[in-house]
């Protein structure tokens, strides 16, 4: 008997298929692992199962009957629950109160207030049944990460839960803490609850799961029995089957001086640990890492948005003690942020006002802004960058994602950059713009700039970079000369450094 059977699932965002023709079966009591690169469609799949997104095509069968999941309530009513990577607890509530979030509190005799005693009994019974050892009187903000994870799982089990989706549940846990989680998973499956286990961590997947489904580019590549495959086989399935070897840009001499050099750079929160790297003049250096590996944080630290706690940053051989965005821009360091709308654009302002914000000084006369000079310069850049808009006074929020990104790049170029820090610069832009951005970065590198390029799209990193670093759990695990590197090799580095090599402080 199958618990969940999904067939022909499609989900389209704009013109992009996040999922196409996906099918999946989950049996009661099994641990079914779901793996794939970033952007393979795992999250979208989870969101459809939990009613956050609606599907565009396909059918969902639950215990043999066709069902719709229009909203999260419907999903919970069926018996599907999810524990997300990031916590969804009310910090000031106790464990008990968090358990009953969104549920009917047991009423007291007067039918007005809450029957706290019944509530506690109900929660304690569940806690005992599942053998979870946490103090539910504590408020969530005083709990440790594993306790929070357990609490969330308990909450998922408050209603009769037959399919529990765990999305990277061990992301913030140490080895011993993870053990407790695995014991709980075992108990749940013995009760007949099925687990859909999403993780990047190979050893966990092989230890826990019965079957593994691999997603790639929004499609299901395969579902295999865990006992019949191994790590290498799985990595091969996740990366592109047709092996495309990378090709190096020609004409870069390795003797060029460094634009950027990091030595043992760390941050206080441990999002960046002991990172050393160099970017030479005219070089495009790629950084690849799975989500949460600390890519954005690394760029932010170099740019001055995060405080470094150790190590050094050198720009063109000169040490920068405390970088700030302002100082970085003055030194010719520009950041193309990952979250364009949040960190790069002021949506209520015009293209002109957005573009010149970092370099207003250049356009200020004695007292006032020289608006004619400003306009001329902005128009020239709009033409240069081929920005499609009604004019420099158009509100930036009205442009397409691709054109917005071109403005972001023009804004960066206005600062006469010597070092580009690009965080997912081609995210949510059309193919044409993506090509243009690649061409632009290569042209800038040819002119002697250094480029540090972060992308979740491994193929893109391999396409554009001269050298690349593999980032895993906040530190580099490999540095590769991008000459004949395959995506399989790179993914191998990401996955071979699983739980065993980690030390949490």
Partner 1 sequence: MVEARAGIPYVRLIRTYGTVAAGILIILAFSLLSPDSFATIDNAINISRQISFLVIIALGATLVMAVGEFDLSVGAVASFGGVFAAQMAVSGYPIWLTFLAPMAAAFIIGFVNGWIVTRFRVLSFITTLAMGTILGGINFRLTGGATVFENIPDGFRYLGQSEWMGIPVLSFIMLFVTLIFWYVMSHMPFGRKLYAIGGNESASRVAGVRVAFNKNMAFALCAMLAALTGILMASRLGSAHPTGGDGLFLSAYAAAFLGMTSFKEGVPNIWGTFVGAAIIGILANGLTILEVPTFMQDVITGCIVIAAVLMQKLGRGKS
Residue 303 or 495 having the CB closest to partner 1? 303
Which of 73, 309, 346, 443 touches partner 1 (CB under 8 A)?
346
Q: Is 395 in the site for partner 1 (CB under 8 A)?
A: yes
Who contacts 499 (Cβ-Cβ below 8 Å, separation ≥6)? 170, 175, 178, 201, 203, 204
Who contacts 464 (Cβ-Cβ below 8 Å, separation ≥6)? 284, 286, 438, 441, 442, 453
Q: Is 344 in the site for partner 1 (CB under 8 A)?
A: yes
Residue 199 CA, chain-centre distance (Å), reads: 13
Residue 247 or 371 having the CB closest to partner 1? 371
Which of 71, 175, 179, 393 touches partner 1 (CB under 8 A)?
393
Asked whether the CA dihedral 318, 322, 324, 326 is positive or negative, the reply is negative
Q: Which stretch binds partner 1 (CB under 8 A): 191-199, 350-358, 437-445, 469-477?
A: 350-358
Residue 176 or 383 having the CB closest to partner 1? 383
Q: Is 73 in the site for partner 1 (CB under 8 A)?
A: no
Per-residue contact track with partner 1, 287 to 316, x per CB under 8 A?
----------------x-x-----------
Residue 46 or 302 having the CB closest to partner 1? 302
Q: Is 347 in the site for partner 1 (CB under 8 A)?
A: yes
- Residue 58 three-state SS: strand
Q: Is 326 in the site for partner 1 (CB under 8 A)?
A: yes
**Positions 422 through 441 that interact with partner 1 (CB under 8 A):** none
Which of 8, 348, 448, 484 touches partner 1 (CB under 8 A)?
348
Show the tokens assigned to 311.
């190590």
- Residue 366 three-state SS: coil
Size of the site for partner 1 (CB under 8 A): 37
- The torsion angles phi and psi of 333, rounded to 5 degrees, stand at -100, 125
Tell me how far, at minimum, the Cβ of 338 lies from partner 1, in Å.
11
Residue 59 or 379 having the CB closest to partner 1? 379
Residue 394 or 486 having the CB closest to partner 1? 394
Cα separations in angstroms, 213 against 26, 33, 34, 220: 10, 6, 5, 7
Which of 107, 360, 380, 431 touches partner 1 (CB under 8 A)?
360
- The torsion angles phi and psi of 259, rounded to 5 degrees, stand at -85, -45
Q: Is 343 in the site for partner 1 (CB under 8 A)?
A: yes
* Distance in angstroms (rounded) separating the CA atoms of residues 221 and 41: 12
Q: What value, to the nearest 5°, has the Cα angle with vertex 448 and ends 445 and 452?
A: 50
Q: Is 337 in the site for partner 1 (CB under 8 A)?
A: yes
Tell me how far, at minimum, the Cβ of 95 lies from partner 1, in Å.
28
Which of 44, 350, 426, 465 touches partner 1 (CB under 8 A)?
350
* Distance in angstroms (rounded) separating the CA atoms of residues 425 and 344: 11
Per-residue contact track with partner 1, 400 to 419, x per CB under 8 A?
-----------x--------
Q: What is the DSSP letter of 94?
A: B
Residue 227 or 386 having the CB closest to partner 1? 386
Residue 141 or 330 having the CB closest to partner 1? 330
Show the tokens assigned to 318.
């000169």
Asked if residues 200 and 168 have their Cβ atoms less than 8 Å apart, the reply is: yes
Looking at the DSSP bridge assignments, the partners of residue 395 are 350
> Which candidate, 203, 218, 173, 211, places its Cα nearest to that of 37?
218
Tell me how far, at minimum, the Cβ of 420 lies from partner 1, in Å.
14
Q: List, edge to edge, every strand of the sheet that includes 275-280.
A: 275-280, 258-267, 308-315, 318-320
Which of 102, 391, 448, 484 touches partner 1 (CB under 8 A)?
391
Interface residue list for partner 1 (CB under 8 A): 303, 305, 325-326, 328-330, 335, 337, 342-350, 353, 357-358, 360-361, 363-364, 367-369, 371, 389-391, 393-395, 398, 411
């Amino acid at each position: 008997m199958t618990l969940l059977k999904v067939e022909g699932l499609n989900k389209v965002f704009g013109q992009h298929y996040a999922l196409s023709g996906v099918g999946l079966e989950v049996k009661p009591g099994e641990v079914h692992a779901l793996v794939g690169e970033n952007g393979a469609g795992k999250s979208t799949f989870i969101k459809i199962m939990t009613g956050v997104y609606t599907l565009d095509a396909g059918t969902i069968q639950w215990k043999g009957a066709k069902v719709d999941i229009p909203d999260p309530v419907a999903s919970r009513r069926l018996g599907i629950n999810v524990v997300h990577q990031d916590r969804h607890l009310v910090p000031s509530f106790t464990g008990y109160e968090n358990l009953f979030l969104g549920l009917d509190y047991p009423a007291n005799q007067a039918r007005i207030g809450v029957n706290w005693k019944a509530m506690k009994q109900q929660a304690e019974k569940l806690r005992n049944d599942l053998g979870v050892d946490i103090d539910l009187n504590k408020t969530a903000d005083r709990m440790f990460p594993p306790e929070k994870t357990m609490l969330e799982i308990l909450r998922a089990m408050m209603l009769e839960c037959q399919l529990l989706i765990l999305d990277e549940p061990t992301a913030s846990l140490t080895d011993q803490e993870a053990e407790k989680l695995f014991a709980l998973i075992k108990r749940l499956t013995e009760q007949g609850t099925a687990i859909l286990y999403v993780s990047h961590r190979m050893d966990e997947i092989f230890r826990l799961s019965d079957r593994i489904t691999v997603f790639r580019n929004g499609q299901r590549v395969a579902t295999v029995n865990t006992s019949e495959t191994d790590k290498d086989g799985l990595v091969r399935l996740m990366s592109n089957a047709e092996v495309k070897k990378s090709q190096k840009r020609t004409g870069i001499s390795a003797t060029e001086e460094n634009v950027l050099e990091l030595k043992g750079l760390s941050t206080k929160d441990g999002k960046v640990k002991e990172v050393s790297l160099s970017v030479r003049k005219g070089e495009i250096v790629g950084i690849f890492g799975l989500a949460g590996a600390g890519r954005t944080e690394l760029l932010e630290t170099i740019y001055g948005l995060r405080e470094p706690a150790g190590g050094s940053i050198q720009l063109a051989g000169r040490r920068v003690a405390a970088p700030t965005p302002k100082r970085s821009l003055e030194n010719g360091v520009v950041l193309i942020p990952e979250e364009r709308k949040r960190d790069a654009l002021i949506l209520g302002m015009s293209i002109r006002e957005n573009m010149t914000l970092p370099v207003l000084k250049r356009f200020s006369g004695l007292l006032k802004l020289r608006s004619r000079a400003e306009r001329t310069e902005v128009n020239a850049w709009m033409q240069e960058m081929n920005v499609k808009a009604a004019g420099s006074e158009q509100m930036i929020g009205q442009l397409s994602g691709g054109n917005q990104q071109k403005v972001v790049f023009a804004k960066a170029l206005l600062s006469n950059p010597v070092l580009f820090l690009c965080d997912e610069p081609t995210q949510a832009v059309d193919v044409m713009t993506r090509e243009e951005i690649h061409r632009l970065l290569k042209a800038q590198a040819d002119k002697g700039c250094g480029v540090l390029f972060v992308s979740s799209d491994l193929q893109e990193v391999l396409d554009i970079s001269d050298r690349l670093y593999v980032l895993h759990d906040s530190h580099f695990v490999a540095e590769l000369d991008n000459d004949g590197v395959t995506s399989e090799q790179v993914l191998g580095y990401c996955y071979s450094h699983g739980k065993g090599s980690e030390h949490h402080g």
